[in-house]
Amino acid sequence: MRRISTAIKVIFPLIVILLLILLILAPIFSKPDTRVLANGASLTWTKCWFTVPSKRKVRCGWYKPHGIQPDKTNIKIPIVYIHYRFKTQATPVLHINGGPGYSTGLDKKGINRWLQWVDQTGWKRDVVFWDHRGTGLSTPLPVCDQLLETSISGLSQNQTMTTEVNLWYQFMQKCQQQFKKLNIPLNTFSTENSVQDSLNIMALIGAKRWKIYASSYGTRVALQIMRDAPQNIDAVILDSVYPTRIHDLLVTPYFINSAFNALFNACSYHYICFKLFPSLEKSIQNAVKILNQSPQTYYVKVAGIPQKIKVVLNGNRLIWAIHGAMYDWTHIEKIPAYIYYVKNKQWVKLHNLVKDYATKVLEPSFIPITYYSTECRDRQRRISEQDYNNELAKYPFIKPHINTLWKKDVCQFWTAGRTTQRYFVPVKSNIPTLIMNGMLDPATPWQWAKEVHKNMDNSFLFIIKGVGHGAVDGDQCGAATAKAFLNKPQQKPILKCQKSWQHPLFKLPKSLLKLPNKDKAKTHPKINNLKAPDSKPQAIAH
C-alpha cells in the first residue's frame, strides 16, 4: 500500500502538469473556428491581437470576403466583437465607421477607446467593430510612400492654397502609379464593397436581428443596407449624415460655407462674442489678411512623431485650422478667442490651434488611395469647370480658399470607375431610424440630415446646437438619446436633457468685456458638464 501511495504522490503532480501543458497548447493545435457563407465569404475567430481586460468578453477574428482560399487581393478585415459585461438578449449593434480612408482604431493603442465607449454609451448590448477595406489593420493596406514626409515638408513652408493643391495633385499622381504595380483594382475600395462586407459580417456572426450605428461616411453605407437588405435590421442610428446623392467636389463650397455660417450665427447668439465681433465673418477675413502679410512659425509636438514639427501659419491655413476646430465642441468654443489673438498679434496663444491643425493634417490612419477610390467612384458624373465655378460664386467668403480645387481634382485621373445609377436614388425606408447631426458640423451639414429624414417614414430627427461632427460622441445627451432610441425604436426619444441643447458658450478672455453680474447670468445659461469626445481627426481639404 505504501508503494501505491508513493506512486500516486509522484504520478499525480505529473498528470496535473501534463494537463496544464495541454490546456496551454490546445489553442495552437486546435482547428480555428471558421464560418463560411455560400458566396465564399468567411470569418475565422482567433486570439485577440491586444490584451483583453479581465472580466471582459471580447472575440476577435478575420473576415475574408472571398473565402478561405486567397485571391489576388488577399483581403483580410479585422473583426472585434465586444460583449456587454453581463449576459444579454438585446439585439447586437453593428458599428459602421466613418471615413472613407480612416481606421476604426482596432489596434493595441486604439481598442481601449472602444472598450470605454461601449460602457459609456450605456447601450447594454454587444457591439461589433470592423475596418473598411484599405484602412486600419485590414490587408492590403494601400499606403503612399513618403506621405508623412511630404505633409511635414509642406507644413514647414509658407505655401499658398494654389501651391498646396498643385503639390498634392502631383503627389497623388505618383502615389497612384506606385499602387498600380501591385495589380490591385482601385475599385476594391468602394462603398458597394463596404455594403457587402457589412452584410457578410452580420451573416457570419449569425445573430438573427441587428441594429446599426453609423457615423459620417458610415451613414452612406448604412443607407444602402437599408435599401438592399432591410429584412434583418430592427433599427438604425445615422449620426452626421452623408447622403448617397452628394457629389463631394460640387458640394465643397456649400458645406464649408455652411459650417462657417453656423459659426457666425452662433456668435450672434452669444452676448460677449457679438459685442466683440458684430460681424465675425469680416473679423475672420481681416485675420486672414494679417496672417498672409505676416505668417507665423510654430514648433508643435504631434503624437507619434518624435521631433517637433515646424508649421507656418498663414491666412489660408487659418481658415482650415478653424474649419478643423469645428469637429469638436471643446474647440468650437475657443474659435472667437483665436480671432481676437490674431487681431491683437498675441501669437503665442495660437499654439494649441496650430497643434490641433497639424495633428489633423498628419493623421497617421488616413489612407489617401482608399479615400479617393471611394469618393471618386461615388460621384454620379464628372462636373465641368463652369458647374464648379457657378457653385463657387454663391459663396464669396470661402471662394478664395477653394477656387483651384476643380483644376487639380485628383478624381480627374483616378481610375476607380463609377458606381451604378441606382445608388444615387434617395433611399426610402420604414425601418425605425434615429437621425442626429450637430448644427456646427463642418463635414456633413445638418441640412443633409433633414433631407434624408424626409424620405424615412419612421424616422426621428435631432439637430444639436453647439455640436460639430459626431452627435453621439460630442454630447452626453446625444448619447442618452441614442440609448433611449435603441431600447424603444418605435418611440421618439424625448429626454429632459435635450432642453439644454444650445449655442456654444464661447470661451473669451474675461478682461475683454466687463458685464454686470446680472447680465452675465442672463447671457451665460448653465450647460451640462459634458465630457470631451475622444473624436478622431478628420481630413483637412488639400
Count CB-CB contacts under 10 A for residue 403.
16
Query: Where does the pLDDT of residue 149 fall: very low under 50, low under 70, confident under 90, or very high at 90 and above?
Result: very high
Lowest mean pLDDT among 39-43, 400-404, 509-513: 509-513
Hey, which residues does 433 pair with through a beta bridge? 236, 459
| 354 has a pLDDT exceeding 60 | yes
Task: Report d(CA 291, CA 158) in Å as an integer.
Answer: 11
Predicted local confidence at residue 509, as pLDDT:
78
Percent of the chain with pLDDT over 70: 87
The structural domain count of the chain equals 1
Kindly tell me if the per-residue pLDDT of 121 is higher than 80.
yes
**pLDDT tens per residue, range 265-317:** 999 999 899 999 999 999 999 999 999 999 999 999 999 899 999 999 999 99
Q: Strand, helix or coil at 84? A: coil
Model confidence at 140, pLDDT cuts 50, 70, 90, reads very high
Residue 17 lies in a domain: no
| Residue 168 pLDDT | 97
Confidence of residue 30 (pLDDT cuts 50, 70, 90): very low
State the distance between the two ends of the chain, measured CA to CA, in whole angstroms: 86
> Is the pLDDT confidence value at 407 over 50?
yes
Asked whether the predicted pLDDT for residue 126 surpasses 80, the reply is yes
Residues 314 and 500: their CA atoms lie apart, in Å, by: 37
Question: At 328, phi and psi to the nearest 5?
Answer: -120, 125
Return all residues near 267 (Cβ < 8 A) that are at least 6 apart.
273, 274, 277, 280, 336, 506
Q: Scan for cell 483665436, then name that residue.
A: 338
Per-residue model confidence (pLDDT) at position 163: 96
pLDDT in the model for residue 66: 84
What is the domain extent for residue 316?
31-542
Q: 419 in a domain, yes or no?
A: yes
CATH no. for residue 511? Answer: 3.40.50.1820
Q: Which of these ranges, 74-83, 363-372, 392-401, 529-538, has the smallest mean pLDDT?
A: 529-538
Is residue 461 situated within a structural domain? yes
Residue 110 lies in a domain: yes
Q: What is the C-alpha separation between 498 and 494, in angstroms, rounded?
A: 7
- Residue 85 reports pLDDT greater than 50: yes
46 within a domain of the structure (yes/no)? yes
Above 50 in pLDDT, residue 534?
no
Question: What dihedral angle (degrees, nearest 10) is formed by the CA atoms of 65, 71, 77, 81?
Answer: 50
The C-alpha cell of 343 is what? 487681431
Question: Which pLDDT does position 536 carry in this prediction?
Answer: 35
Q: Is 7 within the bounds of a domain?
A: no
Which set of grid coordinates corresponds to residue 293?
Answer: 502679410
Specify the higher pLDDT residue, 300 or 537. 300
In terms of Cα–Cα distance, which of 58, 141, 59, 52 is closest to 103? 141
Band (pLDDT 50/70/90 cuts) for residue 89 is confident
Assigned domain for 25 exists: no
- 16 pLDDT band (50/70/90 cuts)? low
Which tens digit of pLDDT belongs to each residue from 236-264?
A: 999 999 998 899 999 999 999 999 999 99
% of the chain exceeding 90 in pLDDT: 78
Question: Does 134 fall in a domain?
Answer: yes
Tens digits of residue pLDDT in 165-180: 999 999 999 999 999 8
Short-list 173, 326, 306, CA closest to 255: 326
What pLDDT, on a 0 to 100 scale, did the predictor assign at position 136? 97
Question: What is the phi-psi region of residue 76: left when phi exceeds 0, alpha when psi lies from -120 to 50, beta otherwise?
Answer: beta
pLDDT at 131 over 90: yes
Average pLDDT value over all residues in the chain: 89
Q: What is the pLDDT of residues 464-522, one digit of tens each?
A: 999 999 999 888 999 999 999 999 999 999 999 999 999 999 998 776 655 544 444 33
Q: Taken in order 465, 468, 471, 475, is the CA torsion positive or negative? A: negative
Q: Biggest alpha carbon distance in the chain?
A: 102
Q: In this predicted structure, what is the pLDDT of residue 9?
A: 59
